[in-house]
Structure 1
């Protein structure tokens, strides 16, 4: 890696890397670059099996230096134990993505800029998330989304929803009074959760559900072009053009109506 790269590495054994973890890692990497106004940088390293990514600027100018300064700031937050609420809120989207990745893998995330290097451990990210949750806005509302996680334990009751509006993942917590309906919920179902919604700068953080509604009892993925292949063969019209084929259908229908004693 060159001195003018930004590097992102998940400290996780290759055998433990799942497709979901890979997707979350790439998303977190992209969010950091976006926060630093560096989305147009070029990928300079991509090791997907072990998740080791890097990006570098196309040109070095004042904008690039500002981007590196922001990346340095984000990186140094991993080395501090006195991160304040304002700093956490400034990069809340970044920390949300990093936290999802850490929850999925329970692994450290090492980032390095040209003048800084730091490691976000699951513990560090948990502390930052507490700052975000304490400072987040809480109001009554609802979230509708697709279920991607169901945890129903005596001391841990949580649904994971992928919000239909923002496409972000939201944790829905609920009490034992909702256990009967949760037992009917499966991954892939569509659910509407109503209760106290925590939002941070417009981004959903969590929901304390008072009511849950199953919108669809089963999950059916939309049909793709590949799914439709073979349903209607290419010679379905008997080699007739569309106009002639429709005319033939009409003539057949009229003839059948006459033979059947219709009007």
Structure 2
């Protein structure tokens, strides 16, 4: 049995735990476990007097370690001096739900995966919302490039395409929803695609694209050209009795330029 437990608490007196508040808290608890790919962990403890929920894996295997790593990254937002825009965007759905809990109960949300607690206050969540709002300024456009990374894991909610934009040379990560699964099933690394959607710049100068349309570009193949194909393309009138070799030899030897037909 695993000894490590994920604990979610709302630090409020019992009278503030309305049915709505408890529903919001439970929804946020599930959202965090879903993000950590741990929604199948057994619920270990539930206390309704305030709100105290906990879950832990049956065994502490590699998957559980990865899940706790994601939860720990979320919890670390409470101790970071400057919130990372990328992490705020990554955890935005959870932070939005936390804001609903905090606004409804006027209390902090507390996470714990060990001996220390991480406290999400209204001030912290408002700062995160401000960062996310600024990052949401994006434009609609498209990129064309060759796929070098393709992730399609519908059961885990992981859908992304990695490529380098042929025009700008910038790294692009395109994410998409289930509506485009059929189009993506026909793709593979090496496929050339044109992806349309909303684009925003990341702090590392790469691009993030929320795809709305993905089109595979067919590679064009041209038949090689031989000398027969070139015959007649250039209509060069040569002097009588001379071919191209004679003309080059004459010019090289410094003789006067041979007269063309019709010259006086």
Q: Deviations over 1:28-78 (max 9, x none)?
A: 111111111110101011002311000000222100100111111111111
Asked whether the equivalents of residues 9 and 111 of structure 1 are also in contact (C-alpha less than 8 Å), the reply is yes
Alignment partner, residue 136 of structure 2: 136
- Map of 1:1-263 to 2, 5 A cutoff? 3-114=3-114, 116-137=116-137
Alignment partner, residue 185 of structure 1: none
Q: Deviations over 1:8-34 (max 9, x none)?
A: 010000011111111100011111111
| TM-score relative to the length of structure 1 | 0.50
**CA separation of 1:87 and 1:21: change in aligned 2, threshold 3 A:** same
Alignment partner, residue 223 of structure 2: none
Asked whether the equivalents of residues 44 and 55 of structure 1 are also in contact (C-alpha less than 8 Å), the reply is yes
Could you tell me how far 1:81 is from its partner in structure 2? 2.9
| TM-score relative to the length of structure 2 | 0.50
In structure 1, stretches of 5+ residues that fail to align are 140-199, 203-263
CA distance in 2, matches of 1:106, 1:132: 22
Q: Deviations over 1:77-129 (max 9, x none)?
A: 11223111101011111111111111111211110013753100111111111
CA distance in 2, matches of 1:75, 1:24: 19
Report which of the two structures shows the higher radius of gyration computed on alpha carbons.
Answer: 2
Number of residue-to-residue matches in the alignment: 143
**CA separation of 1:201 and 1:25: change in aligned 2, threshold 3 A:** farther
Q: Deviations over 1:196-245 (max 9, x none)?
A: xxxx997xxxxxxxxxxxxxxxxxxxxxxxxxxxxxxxxxxxxxxxxxxx
In structure 2, stretches of 5+ residues that fail to align are 140-207, 211-264
